[in-house]
Amino acid sequence: MKIFPAIDIKDRKCIRLLKGNFSNQTTYEMSPIEQASKYKDFGLYNLHIIDLDGALTGELINLDIIENIVKKLGLSIEVGGGIRSIDKIETYLNIGVEKVILGSAAIKNPNFLKEASEKFNNKIILGLDANKKKISVSGWKETLNQTAEEYLKKVNSYGFSRLIYTDIERDGTKLGPNIDETKSIAKISKAPVVVSGGISSIQDIKKIKNLKNSNIEGVIVGKAIYDGDIKLDKLKDLENA
């Protein structure tokens, strides 16, 4: 199982939001590249980065920071946040990002998701963020009258290479992941699914890892690392187990 330590960047700093609320954020002392270096030092080579400034503006605000991480550390990085055009996808892939996450733009315009998935084979991730099963977009400020499952059934054949399912109600809370909803999504999805939101302990990750006959590829871990609830050496041991 793949483990993706998370780095959310806002105002050039590492932050974590509570339930996606930009007015309820925690800022951490380590810079994004220092945090990424720490992950690499512990042998964690998959990294999940979100440009929160980009999610709010639709621009690649922290491109230089992300490029610095890619070029200096050589990690396998998936990036999201404000990626709303083919040109922006190309920009990230050209600096060495492994995969690009499409969220709001793909949901509002499914044809964009299809075009990107066809043009950039095995490079596109669909990010589905849900609040009480309903899809949220635009930096989680807008909730649509459409469930994640309903949307997924419409685009399932488009060829994206991974699906990240985030339960916003759990995100940043350390209350544990919403495994049942994620399993439901994974049963439908043709692409492997990554669990996001609420991871609080190594036990949470073990529960996901031990699921039988699931289409769940990995897990994203954020606040529990920053707060010291999950130790990086234990995380690497679990990924290798």
Architecture of domain 2-240: Alpha-Beta Barrel (3.20)
HSE of 5, CA atoms in CB hemisphere, 13 A: 29
pTM above 0.85, yes or no: yes
First CA to last CA distance, the chain = 9
Confidence (pLDDT) at 20: 67
Q: Where exactly are the structural domains of the chain?
A: 2-240
User: Can you count the helices (H) and strands (E) in the chain?
Assistant: 11, 12
Q: What are phi and psi of 90, to 5 degrees?
A: -60, -40
Q: Is 156 helix (H, G, I), strand (E, B) or coil?
A: coil
State yes or no: pLDDT of 93 exceeds 70: yes
Q: What is the mean pLDDT of the chain?
A: 92
Beta bridge partners of 149: none
Catalytic residue (one of 129, 167, 171, 204): 129
Confidence (pLDDT) at 193: 97
Identity of the residue numbered 31: S
State yes or no: pLDDT of 172 exceeds 70: yes
pLDDT digits (tens, 9 = 90+) for 139-159: 667 777 899 999 999 999 999
Task: Out of 25-34, 53-62, 168-177, pick the least confident.
Answer: 168-177
Residue 12's Cα: distance from chain center in Å? 18
Known active-site residue 180: no
Known active-site residue 87: no
Nearest-10 Cα torsion for 105, 124, 25, 95: -110
Catalytic residue (one of 8, 51, 53, 167): 8
* Residue 5: both structure tokens together: 């330590």
229 secondary structure, DSSP code: S
Q: pLDDT-based confidence at 236, cuts 50/70/90? A: confident
Q: pLDDT-based confidence at 115, cuts 50/70/90? A: very high
Element (H, E) at 224: helix 223-226
Query: CA-to-CA distance for 91 and 96, rounded, in angstroms?
Result: 9
| Strands in 52-205 per DSSP E | 76-80, 99-102, 124-131, 134-137, 142-147, 162-167, 193-196
C-alpha pair distances (Å), 172 with each of 26, 53, 114, 168: 10, 18, 31, 8
